[in-house]
Amino acid sequence: MLSIVLLGGNGCVWLKNITRSSTPTIDPVHVRPLAAKAHPAPRDKEAELQSIFTADNLAITEVVKWIKENNTLIRTDPERRDQLAQRIRMRLDRVRKLYLAFLEKYPNHARARAAYGSFLTHLDDQQGALRELKASAKLAPFNAAVHNNIATHLGTIAVESDRHARVGEILDAYQKAIRLAPHAPLYRHNYTIALSLFQKEAATHLKCTPREVTEEALKQITEALRLDPNNFEIAADLAETHHDFKPLPRKKTLTAWKHAATLATTNDERGWAELQMAIVNIETNHFKEAKQHLEKVNVEIYTRLKQRLLSAIERTTKQKPAKP
């Protein structure tokens, strides 16, 4: 998920990349039809909406490009940073006006409201995005993607604000998405991430123990991988779910990471899996095996972490008994 944040006070602009295993994924409801029971829009209305979607995607692509091209000045030149912020505001405001004009003509168009809500998440308009997503859910209650996006949006707010009062609402929305689309791996994957992120609150809401929350997360992510067996991210998150068990089940966790490694399609993914296997071995005092995995990590972005892990092993002058 890419989120472009504009802070009006000082014009500060930056790009936030929400990476794997931290935040669930928004489903692009604006590029797919609604679920059953939703009536198709007239062709001219659809053509207008599709043109807005195209403008939306083009604007976001351009803004991301501008930010990447000006990454240095964003941090070092306040005047140029403010100019870029104004340029971005003007570019995105053109798309916002397109959505508003369409919704003024068709206020009960569920897919347009869902798309506008997604657009507002890029602008970090949290309340506006939630308002539009909930309006879409009310208009099309059987659209699983919208319930997923409501949960994801609330989850992102909870993570960024460190306020977890609405975790119950998050979990309920994911559960509804799963009930509506039980064969969609994305919703089970996202639900798993939420259970792991908010384990304590989930235990209270679901009236169970933290361990039972982890067991439910493992069940959901296992089913997600069955539905999408070649997905590295799902396989990696399945392996990471094992880390929530205490004590850490070394053999099961390593088996899961080894399987994830077989699904890796890039050096970054393979390196990540090897790093995690090294960490599992370090945590269970199997230092020789940990070094063997670290020797396989030759990705530049992991160099610093690799060195820290090697240093930690070297500082352990007296090796503790290995754990099973």
**Do 56 and 173 lie in a common domain?**
no
**Do 28 and 146 lie in a common domain?**
yes
**Do 152 and 231 lie in a common domain?**
no
> At which of 129, 160, 191 does a domain end?
160
Per-residue pLDDT averaged across 208-225, rounded? 98
Average pLDDT of the chain to the nearest whole number: 87
pLDDT of residue 37: 42
Q: Please give the residue range of the domain that contains residue 47.
A: 1-160
pLDDT of residue 11: 31
**Do 106 and 153 lie in a common domain?**
yes
Tokens of 299: 């990705």
Whether 87 has a pLDDT exceeding 50, the answer reads: yes
Estimate to the nearest angstrom the gap between the alpha carbon of 248 and the chain centroid: 25
**Do 18 and 102 lie in a common domain?**
yes
Interatomic CA distance for residues 242 and 231, integer angstroms: 18
pLDDT digits (tens, 9 = 90+) for 88-141: 999 999 999 999 999 999 999 999 999 999 999 888 899 999 999 999 999 999
**Nearest residue to 282 (alpha-carbon basis) of 322, 240, 237:** 322
**Do 199 and 300 lie in a common domain?**
no
**Do 67 and 109 lie in a common domain?**
yes
**Do 155 and 21 lie in a common domain?**
yes
Whether 269 has a pLDDT exceeding 50, the answer reads: yes
Tokens of 276: 């995690």
Question: Considering its fold, how many domains does the chain have in total?
Answer: 3
> At which of 231, 246, 261 does a domain end?
246
Interatomic CA distance for residues 54 and 62, integer angstroms: 12
**Nearest residue to 203 (alpha-carbon basis) of 164, 240, 158, 258:** 164
Residue 12's pLDDT band, with cuts at 50, 70 and 90, is: very low
**Do 149 and 39 lie in a common domain?**
yes
Q: What is the CATH number of the domain that holds 190?
A: 1.25.40.10
Quick check: 175 and 167 in contact, CB under 8 A? no
User: Percentage helix, strand, coil, to 5, in the chain?
Assistant: 70, 5, 25
> At which of 204, 220, 246 does a domain end?
246
Quick check: 120 and 128 in contact, CB under 8 A? yes
**Do 16 and 78 lie in a common domain?**
yes
